[in-house]
């Protein structure tokens, strides 16, 4: 009981932080103190807390005199949209293919894993650069090419999980008892694979935020003047010696979101995987496993 | 060389080797064949990726080319023949080592990349060594000393390292060490000192990921029966790690290292851009902004080939580390 409550509490703060990011992104026009694209050349490169004509620039202004805070707030929209869309698309597709390949094996499994290997064998950031450069940079194109290159991660981890699980004693026993194959997959294999996939997904969620920013950083993300953290950092780098706030605050926003997402992922994993929490006491472990079964049971349709 | 040494290393384990060598060789053969298929698939994907936009001649043409120039290019590149024909020509060209010609720099793409490669390889190697050593050690400490002071100190560092995007780490390092302290050069290639900041930037994310995976893998193994048995027989922590744990956790660790190598190659694009490092990553960005697609295409093909080879070596290493893998490669586990 106490362990469970502790895990709940650990995930609470990151959850609140992520929720704040989401809310701010949704309510961006209401929250932002200035127009994110409204430039005021007279107020360019003003430091944090600068005041001008009665309005305050809390985090300073950039080279075109635009309010940094407002641009960060609007930049959250791009980051969150791209990250969530990419993880959803690639995760669902990837896990389904991986479980299918690991369970059925044979020619189908071979074909799936070969395709996954090919997709994995292209250093994905380079492929993303190539595809975006050919298609032209836009929000949808960024999501498409990130998802296209990320699904094999889930497939590989799910495949490895299934291969490892299917040789374990309890699967053999269930098979010996004559259980239906797909029932075994849903009831016994998925619960072993899903925590792996969820951990990968949360890592990926943070990574996708970073990669969207990376693409923007090199100029292949959402195009200006739409504010995005990556392009703000790229601008900031040019002024690194004179205007430290330009690179510091968008980076801080990015760092905070990624950190919160990662911490949330840890809490989720600890709740989903009881063996890591209580290894010594078998009685508690069994009880936790019962809890896990109900948790996984409700989540099966998603996988 | 590696085959012979690795087999002799495992020689004292008769059960792993008996009848295992044949299975191992077959496994290596199958993996080799699959690598060739992967290469072919990747090349095909790149070929069609360039045709996603409809007219590759327009992409390949330098900026400001006239309609006649493009028509001329279409003819020179053989883009006026059917797609299937273009594809076979493309493959034959690749077999002859012809990965493309940069009309922007008036130079073979291969040569352009070869000039930049030593810088990127140097950077990636230092970063990889740094991240594997730091990552595995940190992960082991976090797992074995869970709840102890080592775990409490390292965990926040790892979490922070993982949440730091490369370009922000890089800019902050420049702010602190170059702009404020004037300790290290911020940009360009200028002796070993200039390698330091980009390598740390690149390694920070990978090290954190490797540490996390190591921690997870070790913790998972710690609850297994064989660990309890070894412990109850009085094995020391060092012996437990060396003799029992490392072999069992090496598969996830190797997997993540192979994936991280790709990340290093990809991540180095941004890092090289920040530090004005004269490597392949910078060439990529430069070529994209020049719309110099033959070079971008060549970079993707070459980098992917390297990555496929890394994957192949990793897969073969699995076979040596865990005999169960070779046994199950051809549906052997028909239970």
- Asked if the model's pLDDT at residue A285 lies above 70, the reply is no
Check A213 against B307: CB less than 8 A apart: no
Check B42 against A122: CB less than 8 A apart: yes
Restricting to B residues 192-251, those with a Cβ less than 8 Å away from any Cβ of A are 209, 212, 216, 219-220, 222-223, 251
Furthest CA-CA distance within chain B: 82
Report chain A residues whose CB lies below 8 A from the CB of B255. 156, 160
- Asked if the model's pLDDT at residue B335 lies above 80, the reply is no
d(CA A296, CA A288): 12
Which two three-digit tokens encode residue B135? Answer: 């990552």
Highest mean pLDDT among A49-53, A138-142, B11-15: A138-142
Decide: B294 and B102 in contact? Cβ < 8 Å. Answer: yes
Q: What is the pLDDT of residues B128-179, one digit of tens each?
A: 899 889 998 888 888 887 878 888 888 888 888 878 887 788 888 888 887 7
Check A255 against B34: CB less than 8 A apart: no
- Asked if the model's pLDDT at residue A34 lies above 50, the reply is yes
Report chain B residues whose CB lies below 8 A from the CB of A114. 34, 37-38, 41
Check A160 against B311: CB less than 8 A apart: no
- Asked if the model's pLDDT at residue A273 lies above 70, the reply is no
Check A134 against B49: CB less than 8 A apart: yes
Restricting to B residues 253-272, those with a Cβ less than 8 Å away from any Cβ of A are 255, 259, 262-263, 265-267, 269-270
Check B53 against A117: CB less than 8 A apart: no
What ipTM describes this predicted complex?
A: 0.71
| Residue-averaged pLDDT of chain A | 75
Restricting to B residues 108-167, those with a Cβ less than 8 Å away from any Cβ of A are 159-160, 162-167
pLDDT band at A51 (very low <50, low <70, confident <90, very high): low
Decide: B74 and B80 in contact? Cβ < 8 Å. Answer: yes
Check A123 against B50: CB less than 8 A apart: no
Q: What is the pTM of this model?
A: 0.74
pLDDT of A288: 38
d(CA A41, CA A64): 6
Comparison of pLDDT for B334 and B67, the residue scoring more: B67
**What are the backbone dihedrals phi and psi of residue B187, each rounded to the nearest 5 degrees, phi first?**
-140, 160
Comparison of pLDDT for B101 and A251, the residue scoring more: A251
Q: What is the pLDDT of residues A174-226, one digit of tens each?
A: 878 877 777 888 878 888 888 778 878 877 888 888 888 888 888 887 777 78
Q: What is the pLDDT of residues B219-274, one digit of tens each?
A: 878 878 888 888 788 777 777 777 778 777 887 887 788 777 766 765 578 888 88
Check B163 against A258: CB less than 8 A apart: yes
Check B288 against A203: CB less than 8 A apart: no
Residues 6+ positions from A2 with CB-CB distance below 8 Å:
none
Check B328 against A167: CB less than 8 A apart: yes
Our CA-based measurement puts residue B6 at a distance from the nearest CA of chain A, in whole angstroms, of: 24
d(CA B78, CA B54): 15
Our CA-based measurement puts residue A220 at a distance from the nearest CA of chain B, in whole angstroms, of: 9
The answer to whether B303 contacts chain A (CB < 8 Å) is: yes
The answer to whether B299 contacts chain A (CB < 8 Å) is: yes
Which two three-digit tokens encode residue A233? Answer: 């950092």
Check A133 against B267: CB less than 8 A apart: no
d(CA B275, CA B120): 12
pLDDT of A45: 67
Pick from B296, B300, B304, B305: which is nearest to B60 by CA? B296
Q: What is the pLDDT of residues B62-85, one digit of tens each?
A: 667 777 877 877 777 667 777 788
The answer to whether B107 contacts chain A (CB < 8 Å) is: no
d(CA A234, CA A62): 12
Q: What is the pLDDT of residues A112-150, one digit of tens each?
A: 887 887 777 666 677 778 877 777 778 888 888 888 888
**What are the backbone dihedrals phi and psi of residue A32, each rounded to the nearest 5 degrees, phi first?**
-65, 130
For residue A118, the chain B residue with the least C-alpha distance is: B38
Give the pairing of strands A55-57 and B107-108: unpaired
For residue B170, the chain A residue with the least C-alpha distance is: A237
Which two three-digit tokens encode residue A183? Answer: 């029932």
% of chain B beyond a pLDDT of 70 = 84
Check B171 against A251: CB less than 8 A apart: yes
Pick from B141, B83, B116, B78: which is nearest to B269 by CA? B116
For residue B36, the chain A residue with the least C-alpha distance is: A118
Check A123 against B53: CB less than 8 A apart: no
CA distances from A227 to A36, A208, A260 (A): 7, 17, 22
For residue A233, the chain B residue with the least C-alpha distance is: B168
Select from A120, A124, A210 the Cβ nearest to the Cβ of B165: A210
pLDDT of B9: 37
Site from A98, A103, A105, A122 to mutate, B interface, most B CB atoms within 10 angstroms: A122
Check B34 against A114: CB less than 8 A apart: yes
The answer to whether B288 contacts chain A (CB < 8 Å) is: yes
For residue B155, the chain A residue with the least C-alpha distance is: A263
Decide: B266 and B272 in contact? Cβ < 8 Å. Answer: no
Report chain A residues whose CB lies below 8 A from the CB of B304. 121-123, 126
pLDDT of A291: 33
Angle at A162 between CA A159 and CA A164, to 5 degrees: 110
Supply the DSSP string of chain A, one letter for each residue.
Answer: -HHHHHHHHHHHHHHHHHHHHHHHHHTHHHH-SS-TT---GGGTTPPTTEEETTEEETT-B-TT--BHHHHHHHHHHHHHHHHHHHHHHHHHHHHHHHHHHHHH-HHHHHHHHHHHHHHHHS-HHHHHHHHHHHH---HHHHHHHHHHHHHHHHHHHHHHHHHHHHTSHHHHHHHHTT--HHHHIIIIIHHHHHHHHHHHHHHHHHHHHHHHHHHHHTT-SSPTTS--HHHHHHHHHHTTTT-HHHHHHHHHHHHHHHHHHHHHHHHHHHHH-HHHH--S-HHHHHHHHHHHHHHHHHHGGG-
Tell me the count of A-B CB pairs closer than 8 A.
Answer: 172
């Amino acid at each position: 009981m106490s362990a469970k409550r502790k895990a709940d509490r650990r995930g609470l703060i990151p959850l609140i932080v992520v929720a704040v990011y989401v809310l701010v992104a949704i309510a961006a026009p209401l929250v932002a103190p200035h127009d994110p694209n409204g430039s005021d050349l007279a107020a360019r490169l003003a430091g944090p807390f600068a005041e001008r004509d009665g309005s305050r620039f809390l985090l300073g202004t950039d080279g075109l005199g635009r309010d940094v805070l407002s641009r960060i707030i609007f930049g959250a929209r791009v980051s969150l949209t791209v990250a969530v869309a990419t993880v959803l698309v690639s995760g669902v597709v990837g896990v389904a293919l991986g479980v299918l390949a690991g369970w059925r094996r044979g020619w189908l499994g071979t074909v799936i894993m070969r395709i996954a290997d090919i997709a994995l064998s292209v250093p994905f950031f380079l492929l993303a650069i190539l595809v975006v450069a050919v298609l032209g940079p836009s929000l949808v194109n960024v999501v498409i090419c990130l998802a296209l290159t990320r699904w094999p991660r889930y497939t590989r981890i799910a495949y490895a999980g299934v291969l490892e699980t299917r040789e374990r004693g309890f699967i053999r026993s269930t098979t010996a008892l004559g259980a239906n194959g797909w029932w075994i997959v849903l009831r016994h294999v998925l619960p072993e694979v899903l925590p792996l996939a969820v951990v990968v997904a949360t890592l990926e969620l943070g990574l996708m935020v970073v990669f969207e920013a990376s693409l923007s950083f090199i100029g292949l993300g959402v195009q200006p003047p739409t504010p995005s953290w990556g392009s703000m950092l790229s601008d900031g780098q040019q002024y690194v010696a004179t205007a430290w706030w330009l690179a510091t605050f968008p980076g801080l926003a990015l760092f905070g979101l990624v950190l919160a997402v990662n911490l949330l992922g840890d809490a989720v994993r600890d709740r989903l995987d009881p063996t890591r929490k209580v290894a010594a006491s078998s009685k508690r472990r069994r009880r936790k496993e019962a809890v896990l079964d109900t948790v996984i049971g409700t989540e099966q349709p998603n996988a | 060389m590696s085959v012979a040494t690795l087999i002799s290393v495992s020689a004292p384990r008769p059960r792993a080797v008996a009848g295992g060598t044949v299975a191992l060789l077959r496994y290596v053969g199958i993996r080799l064949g699959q690598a060739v298929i992967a290469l072919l698939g990747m090349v095909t994907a790149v070929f069609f990726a360039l045709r996603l936009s409809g007219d590759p001649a327009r992409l390949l043409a330098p900026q400001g080319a006239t309609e006649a120039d493009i028509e001329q290019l279409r003819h020179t590149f053989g883009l006026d023949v059917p797609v299937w024909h273009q594809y076979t020509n493309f493959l034959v060209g690749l077999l002859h080592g012809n990965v493309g010609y940069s009309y922007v720099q008036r130079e073979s793409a291969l040569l352009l990349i070869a000039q930049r490669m030593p810088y990127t390889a140097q950077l990636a190697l230092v970063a990889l060594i740094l991240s594997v050593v730091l990552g595995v050690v940190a992960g082991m400490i976090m797992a074995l000393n869970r709840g102890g002071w080592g775990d409490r100190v390292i965990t926040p560092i790892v979490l922070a390292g993982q949440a730091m995007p490369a370009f922000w780490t890089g800019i902050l390092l420049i702010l602190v060490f170059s702009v404020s302290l004037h300790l290290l050069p911020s940009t360009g290639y200028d002796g070993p000192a200039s390698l330091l900041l980009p390598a740390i930037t690149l390694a920070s994310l990978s090290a954190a990921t490797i540490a996390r995976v190591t921690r997870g893998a070790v913790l998972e193994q710690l609850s297994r029966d064989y660990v309890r048995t070894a412990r109850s027989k009085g094995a020391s922590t060092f012996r437990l790690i060396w003799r029992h744990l490392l072999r069992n956790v090496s598969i996830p660790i190797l997997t993540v290292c192979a994936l991280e190598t790709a990340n290093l190659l990809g991540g180095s694009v941004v890092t090289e851009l920040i530090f004005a490092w004269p490597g392949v990553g910078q060439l990529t960005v430069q070529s994209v902004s020049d719309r110099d697609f033959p070079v971008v295409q060549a970079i993707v093909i070459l980098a992917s080939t390297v990555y496929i080879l890394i994957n192949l070596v990793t897969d073969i290493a699995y076979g040596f580390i865990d005999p169960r893998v070779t046994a199950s490669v051809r549906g052997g586990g028909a239970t």
